[in-house]
Structure 1
């Protein structure tokens, strides 16, 4: 069963797009749930299609891995979904896209101190690089994730900067707005580390603007908090942090790491939230 508006021929291009952001009713419904942090509900909508469609299976995996990153929970479900997607991947493009997701899941596990899977992350992203064609639509996402490995696991800021710049150029060229928001965010973080606060403010502001325009509610609080950290006006920075805290409370305490920073430690809800 294929989801409305999808085909196996475009599964690679769709696999790393904001899962659900599309014209088809299913895509729209999935995006609305995902953007509010209702990952389990979004994944359930895709479940009937994910049984035999590689694109739908990968989208489902993307959503459940994102839940892990925001909540530090649901690892077994994400692993099961990824294995199912890997089993359906037949072409090099599909196998490369699932390898990219495996690398990210392993990276998330390592970053959040759930289990050290750094070697698995590097190996999977290397496999993705070998499988994906040079002009593959998945390349910008792969570049972003290789940059994350360089920055946070290899502690190689030069390599991270180059990878983030490639990812940003590719995401912008493809019109992938959510990915562009992420590349702005990581380039801004690099600028902040270098002490270039004007460039950091610009990047964080662009990331926030895109997320607000997309209605990606679950990603707005982290963008606000990041921008607040480089805002020179204490009152404006305080306003941003207050708004970030309000959104974290609205979403039941996610992202969990931001909730801890802001002093909101409610356990994340894994169902319907207001």
Structure 2
């Protein structure tokens, strides 16, 4: 199950999963992994991550994600696998809290702390864990300095591992902190890098949020052009991410999330 599907050297299964995921077809992508996820801990974790991302972007599918997570936890054996499962539990609990489905902030913090205890500093899953700890610090604990430190660790780890998709997330969230502090040039650079990477990878479902973020740091009329492009992608994908709707003038009950 190695490979993310974003390069020519990745296995065909991962390429197919990536193409579906990037077009908001999380359920179909998870179905491709289901035969492998019954026995392979890595596939089970990947399937959980897909279904959790569906929850975060649509506000739906919580039961499916919980079931997949429990299966992944049952298959986990070594510290890396148990740490990865704990990281996914923390992320699912974070998504539930952020979207106002159910307050699971304590569960999220405990799960990510458990993941930190299980994953070695050089473990492949460490950069993603650091990023998710940054999300909790920024969006739940309201601690921008802790969030910045976590994002920087994640950014360094993603750079070292060549994880371009994670880099697109760390760029975006570091830029959001810069924007809050009025550092427009720094924010614009980070948002631009995030958008560039997502466009190069073909991460279509994550491109509209990146466009909206960059629009917040740009003057008019460029900001309006970016919002219009985000709206086009939003409609193309059938209205996801759902929490993006208020930013492009479409009424929606979901609060803005971190994508």
Give the TM-score of the pair, scaled to structure 1.
0.89
Residue 143 of structure 1 deviates from its aligned partner by 0.7
Partner Cα distance (1:79, 1:63) in 2 = 12
- Residue 56 of structure 2 is aligned to residue 49 of structure 1: no
2:121 is aligned to 134
Q: Which residue of 1 aligns with 2:158?
A: 171
Residue in structure 2 matching 1:38, options 22, 25, 37: 25
> Can you list the C-alpha shifts for 1:117-148, whole angstroms capped at 9, x where unaligned?
00000000000000001111111111111111
Contact 1:72 1:256 (C-alpha < 8 Å) held by counterparts: yes
Q: Distance in 1 between matches of 2:171 and 2:247?
A: 22
Query: Would the aligned equivalents of 2:246 and 2:252 in 1 still touch at CA under 8 Å?
Result: no
Partner of 1:3: none
Listed as ranges, the gaps of 5+ residues in structure 2 are: 254-259
1:259 is displaced (CA, Å) by 1.7
State the superposition RMSD in angstroms: 1.4
Residue 90 of structure 1, CA deviation: 0.4
Aligned pairs (5 A) from 1:115-154 = 115-154=102-141
Q: Does 1:156 align with 2:140?
A: no
Contact 1:150 1:157 in 2 (8 A): yes
- Is the Cα contact below 8 Å between 1:61 and 1:78 reproduced in 2? yes
Aligned residue among 61, 70, 79 for 2:57 = 70
Q: Following TM superposition, by how much is the alpha carbon of 1:265 offset from its aligned partner in structure 2, in angstroms? A: 5.4
> Per-residue deviation at 1:263?
2.6
- Work out whether 1:183 is the aligned partner of 2:170: yes
Measure, in 2, the Cα distance between the counterparts of 1:104 and 1:188.
Answer: 21
Residues 188-218 of structure 1: per-residue CA shift (max 9 Å, x gap): 0000011100000000000000000000000
- Shift of the 255–34 alpha-carbon distance from structure 1 to 2, 3 Å rule, reads same
User: For 2:221, what is the secondary structure of its paired residue?
Assistant: helix
Whole-angstrom CA distance in 2 between matches of 1:208 and 1:140: 20
Q: TM-score, normalised by structure 2?
A: 0.94
Q: Partner residue of 1:256? A: 242
**2:66 aligns with one of 79, 97, 100:** 79
SS at match of 1:32: helix
Query: Could you tell me whether the CA contact under 8 Å between 1:172 and 1:180 is conserved in 2?
Result: yes
- Superposition deviation, residue 261 in structure 1: 2.5
Give 5+ residue unaligned stretches, structure 1.
1-5, 7-13, 268-274
The structure 2 residue matched to 1:24, chosen from 3, 11, 28, is 11
